[in-house]
Structure 1
């Protein structure tokens, strides 16, 4: 068992943890903003969270090999499992870890040797990468991202306009349709949802550049209450500097 990873996960949800976010981070005026108030404990059995069970059904429907997953690090961030009284962000490695409210994480295995040598749980930043189902499986299978010109196992070449790998410190940006492709999902009892997948990652400091929102996102006044629009996108051409450690799933109900 990776004790450093467990320690990192426990720290991020310690109810007595104070969030000393540096002054240049924007703060929300709502109760869900970064604060130093003691977090409240909710008497709720997360093992039977209906939203998490639905997201798990979606993951099961993909028929991905179970060996890729590390269920010790599954975590639901719905309003029941992660209350509005809890902080929107924590400071990890002197960088904001923005909580993915409304999403469920399914832990995946990482290279334990690299994780310990690089001390990624303490020293690397938390970022998100929006993607589609096919690409997500390829990334998880190989433990790394592909860049422009790389070739898939089936012989297809990755064709994209830019030679960089893009991430964001907030899932609100990475989950945009331009990055996280929507998928129609019908549950076993006939309920219909739009499902999205985003990879939760650890990213090495000093290996990426920061820029503002691109595309249609530039028209939005405020994308995230923690990260400003002019610092919301990261890009790098160093594939080994980004390690995925969780598959984030969000389901949005739609009329059939």
Structure 2
């Protein structure tokens, strides 16, 4: 290669290197990689000079306001909106389904229903002048058709022995010797029976705390007398229909609020099972639950028949020839 070619090649390489250096310097200046150019750039931004004037703020064009369009140069009329029609509120649907009546566990002064006899039974207890200390209102129950519907059971079982539900009667709980009842487990181990009594004897029995024998001397000094055929025994029954027969439970006709009623009293009792005899009653077909051969119970053991509640049944009185004149004069 001659000297001219070598000189030309050297000049070309020099020019190429210079161009590359200039390009690198410009790129570094734009990206801020070069401190020297960066310092000058900051200086130029802080103190604008005639050679490096401050950048101008961008010019924002004003919004274009278009004139309202005219329809054939006629003034636009206001559009009348249609009046809103309010829909009438629907009438509420009334629930006319009769709700079941709740059972009341304590006596009230006002009757819950004209058909419920509990109010009249309460009035009758006041007529008997029985002290309030005899009663335990927590165990009051009403078994009328309203308080105890027909679809409920008609028989209860205690200690393996059945007894009838006192339908149509009102139950008033009595105060008992809770220590004796709990220690002997009387409510779970003894049978439940019914003992028919009368207006004259009911308070003497309650005060005595157990059913006495006919001829017994009571705490008040009186002699207990029962007009039954077998006075050596205490007669009871698991059927309230049998216990409330006239032989055991005489009817008491009473005037309450200008109306005559026939009232019966039966004591619900717990009876000791041992020594208890079951026999046929003096009348058949009295109860459809308890058979006739076992409807009358008797015992000769003292203090083994303990009352725990009074049952009262009130029915409208029907006058006969014997009592019509008496009622008309009252």
- The two structures have a TM-score, normalised by structure 2, of 0.60
**Change in CA separation of 1:52 and 1:230 when aligned onto 2, cut-off 3 Å:** same
SS in 2 for 1:240: coil
Inter-partner Cα distance in structure 1 for 2:231 and 2:249? 17
SS in 1 for 2:171: strand
Report whether the alignment pairs 1:206 with 2:263. Answer: no
Inter-partner Cα distance in structure 2 for 1:89 and 1:67? 30
Alignment of 1:164-203 (within 5 A): 164-187=233-256, 189-203=257-271
* 1:251 corresponds to: 314
Report whether the alignment pairs 1:92 with 2:161. Answer: no
Q: Deviations over 1:127-160 (max 9, x none)?
A: 0000111211111011012113312333446366
Inter-partner Cα distance in structure 2 for 1:44 and 1:144? 36
Does the aligned pair in 1 maintain the 2:163–2:290 contact within 8 Å?
Answer: no
Q: Deviations over 1:212-244 (max 9, x none)?
A: 012xx1xx3x21111011110000111221110
Bigger RCO (CA 8 Å, 6+ sep): 1
**Is the radius of gyration larger for structure 1 or structure 2?**
2
Deviation at 1:123, TM superposition (A): 1.2
RMSD: 1.7
- The two structures have a TM-score, normalised by structure 1, of 0.77
Does the aligned pair in 1 maintain the 2:212–2:224 contact within 8 Å?
Answer: no
Deviation at 1:46, TM superposition (A): 3.1
Report whether the alignment pairs 1:239 with 2:298. Answer: no
Does the aligned pair in 1 maintain the 2:193–2:237 contact within 8 Å?
Answer: yes
**Change in CA separation of 1:237 and 1:90 when aligned onto 2, cut-off 3 Å:** same
SS in 2 for 1:58: helix
SS in 1 for 2:138: helix
**Change in CA separation of 1:133 and 1:118 when aligned onto 2, cut-off 3 Å:** same
The answer for unaligned runs of 5 or more in structure 2 is 1-98, 105-111, 319-326
Inter-partner Cα distance in structure 2 for 1:148 and 1:130? 14
**Which one of the candidate residues 54, 58, 61 is aligned to 2:127?**
61
Does the aligned pair in 1 maintain the 2:190–2:271 contact within 8 Å?
Answer: yes
* 1:32 corresponds to: none
Give structure 1 regions of 4+ aligned residues with deviation exceeding 4 angstroms.
Answer: none
* 1:158 corresponds to: 225
The answer for unaligned runs of 5 or more in structure 1 is 1-41
SS in 2 for 1:85: coil
Moved more, 84-93 or 145-154: 145-154
Moved more, 81-90 or 160-169: 160-169
**Which one of the candidate residues 39, 43, 52 is aligned to 2:118?**
52
SS in 1 for 2:124: helix
Inter-partner Cα distance in structure 2 for 1:156 and 1:124? 28
**Change in CA separation of 1:137 and 1:231 when aligned onto 2, cut-off 3 Å:** same
Inter-partner Cα distance in structure 1 for 2:130 and 2:309? 14
* 2:286 corresponds to: 223
Q: Deviations over 1:10-48 (max 9, x none)?
A: xxxxxxxxxxxxxxxxxxxxxxxxxxxxxxxx7203332
* 2:213 corresponds to: 147
**Change in CA separation of 1:184 and 1:159 when aligned onto 2, cut-off 3 Å:** closer
- Structure with the higher fraction of residues in strand conformation: 1
